Amino acid sequence: MSTLAPRPRAASVTDMVEYVLPQHANIGSTVFGGQIMAWVDLCAAICAQRHAGRPCVTAFVDDLLFKRPVRVGQVVRLRAHILATFRTSMEIEVDVHGEDTITGEVWPTVECRIVFVAMDDERRPTAVPPLLLESDADRAAQAAAEERRRLRLAKR
């Protein structure tokens, strides 16, 4: 049982906005999947570190489905929030949307969950504050994450 004080989800929600430039794109002028993955990892890492108050490393990335492309001149919007905490690890969800600033259209492009592990000063896994579970939806999200965790750890 953690002795750290629980922290609310809202305290670590992280937003990022990226303008898609030619260096982010393939020859079809749509953003590279790997570039989106890098932004997803960054956004989630900031969220994890805000929650943990420690440096965090990426331990596991769930499947990524690229639903619709984002083109040069459009915008990628990312929002990360914590779904669940375990002992030293946390599951973070990142929602990614494309945005056309000229037309105002916004569309979902990727949704992903990533596990981060908090590190102590000797770079060993260290306990994270529990997530404050404030509603039935929060408790259901934690329970669903526990099941995904069981499946991930079974793959090790």
Smallest CA-to-CA distance from 49 within 4, 82, 75, 21 is with: 82
Could you say whether residue 152 binds ligand COA (CB under 6 A)? Answer: yes
Q: What is the spatial distance between Cα 73 and Cα 18, in angstroms, rounded to a whole number?
A: 10
Residue 93 is encoded by which pair of tokens? 């969800």
Residues within window 58-97 making contact with ligand COA, judged by CB under 6 A: 58-60, 86-89
Residues within window 99-118 making contact with ligand COA, judged by CB under 6 A: 115, 117
Q: What is the spatial distance between Cα 15 and Cα 29, in angstroms, rounded to a whole number?
A: 24
Smallest CA-to-CA distance from 87 within 122, 113, 59 is with: 59
Q: How many residues bind ligand COA (CB under 6 A)?
A: 14
Could you say whether residue 13 binds ligand COA (CB under 6 A)? Answer: no
Q: What is the spatial distance between Cα 46 and Cα 88, in angstroms, rounded to a whole number?
A: 16
Of the two residues 58 and 72, which places its CB atom closer to ligand COA in the complex? 58
In whole angstroms, how close is the CB of 118 to ligand COA at the nearest point?
9
End-to-end CA distance of the chain: 24
Of the two residues 59 and 75, which places its CB atom closer to ligand COA in the complex? 59
In whole angstroms, how close is the CB of 70 to ligand COA at the nearest point?
25
Q: Which residue is nearest to ligand COA (CB)?
A: 86
Interacting residue ranges for ligand COA, rule: CB under 6 A: 57-60, 86-89, 115, 117, 125, 152-153, 156
